Structure 1
Amino acid sequence: MSVKPLLPIALLSLAGLTACGGSEDVQVSAQTAVFSFGVSDAPVTEAAKVVVCFSGIELVGNGLQPQRFTLGSSQFTSEANDLCRTASGAVIPNTRGIDLLTLQGANSEALIRSAVVPAGQYGQLRLDIAEGSYVERLDGSRRSLSVPSNQLRLNGPVLSAGGNFNYTLEFDLRKALVDANPAGVSTPINQNYLLKPTGLRLVDNSQVGHLQGDVAESFLLDNQCPVNPADDRAAVAAVYLYDGASRPLADLSDNGGNKLYQPYASTAVFFKNDETRYHYSIGFVEAGSYTVAITCDLDDQPEAADDIVFITSKNITIEARQQPYQLDFAQGD
């Protein structure tokens, strides 16, 4: 996958900044910066819930001891909740369980708000994931969700002195969520999912925009896509985003494939029964030019090359900090 470099926002020469969600002034010096961090998600097709148990965040590097934030431990972090539990049902302290499927498109949830940290270049951002994470499938069955070494590690941000930075980690679950038993097994203890750092994007909110759109039912019918599903949590199509304009359909890879152009992101199209429309969204997309392709093929395993046939594609340009780019697919496209 093509990954764009993280870019710092312009230096802010302010003596004091107002913290998000409060009236206190956050004092910033020539050696510090303000850092906020949240999470968002692009959905998968087979899940009703994907609950991840976050316990801590670390900024590592910069020639200093790690800057650690334990959830629920200070005014800068989100409060802990009771969603994360041990096998015996006990609540795990200092954890916050988040159903990532509630954070689609431009929606996000903050884990750190306006924390003052030493300025500089951090080599890594690390997320500690506690036990208790799980995936609830559309049939109601629940399977455990684990992370290798219980920690997700990503390239860290650059925090310029005096700046106020807001970063989001976008979970592209169509790449990151791996079924450990894709063929199915009869022993429930082995039925679990893995959450891998593949497809996770750490982005500076000042450098991103959002994509959304509707797909006409006539377009779906013309291309033999399913329509009006009995369960509106079931996807009817999928939309893929590729870095660069005018990428040929024949060269577009699926999430586990090896064709010339790898997806920057992908998402599913769902029927909004209360609004009688078919909708999709991809949030926190770095500013630039992209090819958007749509398919009715929904079986895309993140670690295997699948036979995905794209129907058509369109070019878009995402601009930072703008209203979501609206791209629709209609009959005849």
Structure 2
Amino acid sequence: MTHKYTYLAALLPLFMLSGCGSSSDNTSEGETTFSLSVSDAPVDDLSEVMVCFSQVELKGGSEDLLFEVGDGDNMIMPNEACVDDNEVVIANTLGIDLLAYPGSASFTLLEDIIIPAGEYSQLRLAISDGSYGVLEDSSKVEIQVPSNELKLDGFTAVISGVSDLTVEFDLRKGMTDPVGQDHYILKPRGVRLVDNSTSATISGSADALQLCSLTAPEEGDFGGSIYLYQGFNLDINDLSDNGGSGTYLPYASTLVSYDGENYGYEIGFVAADDYTIAFSCATEDDPDEDDGITFLQKQEMTLESSDIVVNFEATDL
């Protein structure tokens, strides 16, 4: 049985940091506080990725819980960003441009909702029609989601606790451009559910001018890519790109971009674990193909709940 909750929740300001803390003072015995945010890692060839959310569903626990976009019973506020082929607004949808929330920035879908404690086997995001991307020439291209639903891992909601989660969209891994088709596909393989209490941000700089022999950069230019892998003692020659055939597939990846002074990167909402992080001069990565990317450097680190800075210097070659 799916239970529809009828509390109202307000959206936080557009740019915020997830995991900034929530209160569980209002919970009763057998309940916990639940919050959910959305974040993104950038994709190579789209300037906007508008995804149209219609429902959030929690499977398991003492009962299935359903949070709908819409009037009266909604947990998230609809907007007019999603339209059909006739430019008519699709009712009960919330359109979010994922590219507006890179790295550690996020958009709050649900905040401080009281839910029953227990084991939730899945979190599902229902995606309506109307999702689209914007290409470099400003034209729009349809984005489709298989079965209009993203099925993610579950989580444990402890009694009188706080479940503060973020859905991280790694678009370089999950957004594909099928050959011969006029739309993009957003696949669940590029989406992960992260517990903010045990996650952190990895950021840093890369000496792309020297490492990649670049000249005269302009603000917004890409100067390589960063790839993150779970585990230590990984041979750099066995590291794979997204869609590659190497031994080790990336946990996450992001582009290195020039801010007018330096080339930098940021990967937000990374779960606590041991990682290998690697730098490549490549800036394009087809998640459906083995692009044969060459990695110049790699480093190892243990990520706990504190942010880490990892830089890639030309002197390290």
Please confirm whether the aligned pair reaches a TM-score higher than 0.5, indicating the same fold: yes
- Deviation (angstroms), 1:153: 0.7
Contact 1:239 1:268 in 2 (8 A): yes
CA distance in 1, matches of 2:57, 2:164: 15
* Preserved contact between residue 226 and residue 236 of structure 1 (Cα < 8 Å): no
Cα distance in 1, alignment partners of residues 277 and 229 from structure 2: 6
Q: Match for residue 315 of structure 2?
A: 332
The answer on whether the counterparts of 2:11 and 2:109 sit within 8 Å (CA) in structure 1 is: no
Q: CA deviation at 1:56?
A: 0.9
- Cα-to-partner distance string for 1:240-295 (whole Å, 9 max, x where unaligned): 0111234221110111123221111100011113xx22111100011122111011
Work out whether 1:290 is the aligned partner of 2:275: yes
1:261 and 2:248 are equivalent in the alignment: yes
CA deviation profile, 1:206-231 (whole Å, cap 9, x unmatched): 01010111223xx43443357614x7
Gaps of 5+ in 2: 1-9, 13-21
1:93 Cα shift? 2.1
1:27 — aligned with what? 26
1:252 is aligned to: 239
**Contact 2:46–2:134 (CA under 8 A) maintained in structure 1:** yes
* Map 1:49-198 → 2, pairs under 5 A: 49-64=48-63, 66-73=64-71, 77-181=75-179, 185=180, 190-198=181-189
- Aligned partners of 1:52 and 1:133 also within 8 Å: yes
* TM superposition shift of 1:30: 1.9
User: Structure 1: which 5+ runs fail to align?
Assistant: 1-18
User: Residue in 1 aligned with 2:262?
Assistant: 277
TM-score when normalising by structure 1? 0.83
Please report the TM-score for the alignment, with normalisation by the length of structure 2.
0.87
Q: 1:153 to 1:67 in 2, by over 3 A?
A: same
**Residue of structure 2 in register with 1:13 after alignment:** none
Q: 1:24 to 1:72 in 2, by over 3 A?
A: farther
Which aligned segments of 4 or more residues in structure 1 are displaced greater than 4 angstroms?
A: 23-26, 72-76
Q: Which residue does the alignment assign to 1:199?
A: 190
Structure-2 separation of matches of 1:269 and 1:106: 15
The 1-side partners of 2:285 and 2:215 are apart by 16
Is the contact made by 1:97 and 1:133 (CA closer than 8 Å) also made in structure 2? Answer: yes
Write the letter of the residue equivalent to 2:129: E
Q: CA RMSD in A?
A: 2.3
Q: Is the 8 A contact 1:86 1:92 kept in 2?
A: yes
Identity of aligned residues (%): 39
2:77 is paired with a residue whose SS is coil
The one-letter amino acid paired with 1:86 is D
Alpha carbons of 1:226 and 1:118: their partners in 2 closer, same or farther (altered >3 Å)?
farther
- CA 1:104 to 1:132, structure 2 compared with 1: closer, same or farther past 3 Å? same
Aligned residue pairs: how many? 298
| Cα distance in 1 for residues equivalent to 2:73 and 2:34 | 13
The equivalent of 1:5 in structure 2 is none
Counterpart contact for 1:71–1:77, Cα < 8 Å? yes
CA drift at 1:311 = 0.8
8 Å CA contact 1:76–1:112 kept in 2: the answer is no
Cα distance in 2 between the residues matched to 1:122 and 1:272: 41
Displacement of 1:81 in angstroms is 1.4
Using the TM superposition, give the Cα deviation of residue 105 of structure 1 relative to its aligned residue in structure 2, in angstroms.
0.9
Structure 2 residue aligned with 1:228, among 212, 217, 220? 217
**Deviations for 1:171-192, whole angstroms, at most 9, x for unmatched residues?**
01111101122xxx5xxxx411
Say if 1:25 and 1:308 are closer, same or farther in 2 by CA, change over 3 A.
closer
